[in-house]
Amino acid sequence: MTGTWEQIEIQQPLVIKMLKNSLIKNRLAHAYIFEGMRGTGKMDAGLILAKSVFCETLLNGYMPCEECTNCKRIQNGNHPDVHIVEPDGLSIKKNQIQALQEEFSKKAVESKKKIYMIHHADRMTVNAANSLLKFLEEPESQSIAILITEQIQQILPTILSRCQTIPFRPLPPSNMIEQLISLGITPNQAPLLASLTNNINEAIELSQNDWFVQAQKIVVKLYEVLKKNSLESLVALQEEWFLHFKEKAQIDRGLDLILLIFRDLLYIQLGKENEVVYLNEKNRLEQYALQTTGTRLTEQMTAIFEAKRKLQGNMNPQLLMEQLVLNLQEGSSFV
């Protein structure tokens, strides 16, 4: 579900203030880059902006009503003048940008306005990026481009120079935790969720997701087995991990959950117990923290970051996890 104007305003007050001023003064740019880490509300803000542009009964001159036909069609992803481009496989290809250009060369279906959003704009191929550049250099007078990215450094400087960049900042974890608890998330679960996403809606969905609840148990169990021997760890991968973490996004989420365990151990060693997020496991983690060193924990966290990088590079997930488990154990000072 898309966040409302009010929800995004809580999460990204500076972004919303800027969009509000541009809408009221009728000074929207022809191209934006929404950049920031995953879960900071970039896609939601893009859809809210689209609703504001097409809303039939704007509130206060800038806020979408969420009730009119246009707002509902944008919410449901079927407005004829709002186009969203997603990666086709691992990348956004030239033919996708060309199809978008062809679509925009036609007259807008219901008004003179058109909006296109390119999700994961950093994944455009070189040819796709060059096609988009030509598109940005000769914009339709009533068109608005919104490029959404977590990796702004991957976008061509020539594209950056033709767009207004709007940074999306992470919500401070303490604020996120307070909001989640106020919405009914348990105090023990809220810190973990706030460490995984900066999006309130995503956090709530995760808390209600049976797959995620089971994922936490499997990750904690895998960590327990890591302290034994490599054979048991590899067996645990086969019997539980690979059966549960099947898609790339699920594996990435699992790696994040493993990373947070090692981060908690490091925080305990540094005397930052108040920053631990696996609160249900805190007593056991305090014991485990005595059995390793800060240097070893740093090495293990680096190995997990490297596994996440290789996963995005399309490495075989089974081989990746087997290598990671061996790296997490190799030279371990566990007793």
pLDDT per residue as tens digits for the range 152-171: 999 999 999 999 999 999 87
Q: Which of 182, 263, 166 is nearest to 219 (CA)?
A: 263
User: Quick one: 232 and 159 in the same domain?
Assistant: no
**Does residue 15 sit within a domain?**
yes
What CATH number corresponds to the domain at position 244?
Answer: 1.20.272.10
Q: Which residue has the tokens 């879960």?
A: 39
What CATH number corresponds to the domain at position 85?
Answer: 3.40.50.300
User: Quick one: 299 and 229 in the same domain?
Assistant: yes
Identify the three-state secondary structure at position 85.
strand
- pLDDT tier at 2, thresholds 50, 70, 90: low
**Does residue 173 sit within a domain?**
no
| pLDDT at 130 (0 to 100) | 93
Q: Which of 11, 82, 14 is nearest to 46 (CA)?
A: 82
User: Quick one: 117 and 225 in the same domain?
Assistant: no
Element (H, E) at 297: helix 294-312
**Does residue 161 sit within a domain?**
yes
**Does residue 215 sit within a domain?**
yes
Instruction: Say yes or no to pLDDT of 335 above 50.
Output: no
Over residues 281-320, the pLDDT tens digits come to 999 999 999 999 999 999 999 999 999 989 988 789 999 9
Give the C-alpha separation, 124 to 135, whole Å: 14
**Does residue 199 sit within a domain?**
no
User: Quick one: 154 and 63 in the same domain?
Assistant: yes
Residue 140, class by beta-carbon neighbours within 10 Å (0-12 exposed, 13-18 middle, 19+ buried)? middle
How many whole angstroms from its chain centre is CA 114? 26
**Does residue 150 sit within a domain?**
yes
User: Quick one: 31 and 145 in the same domain?
Assistant: yes
> What single-letter DSSP state applies at residue 107?
P
How many whole angstroms from its chain centre is CA 175? 18
Number of domains the chain contains: 2
**Does residue 192 sit within a domain?**
no
| pLDDT at 110 (0 to 100) | 63
Which of 137, 167, 197 is where one domain is finished? 167
Residue 25 has phi, psi (to 5 degrees) of -90, 0
Instruction: Say yes or no to pLDDT of 334 above 60.
Output: no
Which of 136, 167, 198 is where one domain is finished? 167
Residue 115 has phi, psi (to 5 degrees) of -130, 135
Percent of the chain scoring above 70 in pLDDT: 95
| pLDDT at 40 (0 to 100) | 86
Give the C-alpha separation, 298 to 314, whole Å: 25
Q: Which of 277, 257, 279 is nearest to 213 (CA)?
A: 257
- pLDDT tier at 181, thresholds 50, 70, 90: very high
User: Quick one: 35 and 148 in the same domain?
Assistant: yes
Going by C-beta distance under 8 Å and a sequence separation of 6 or more, which residues neighbour residue 32?
144, 145, 146, 147, 163, 164, 165, 166
User: Quick one: 36 and 159 in the same domain?
Assistant: yes
User: Quick one: 63 and 148 in the same domain?
Assistant: yes
Question: With a threshold of 0.75, does the pTM exceed it?
Answer: no
User: Quick one: 158 and 226 in the same domain?
Assistant: no
- Residue ranges making up the domain that contains 323: 209-329
User: Quick one: 239 and 159 in the same domain?
Assistant: no
DSSP 156-218: -HHHHTTSEEEE-PPPPHHHHHHHHHHTT--TTTHHHHHHH-S-HHHHHHHHT-HHHHHHHHH
Q: For 202-218, what is the mean pLDDT?
A: 95
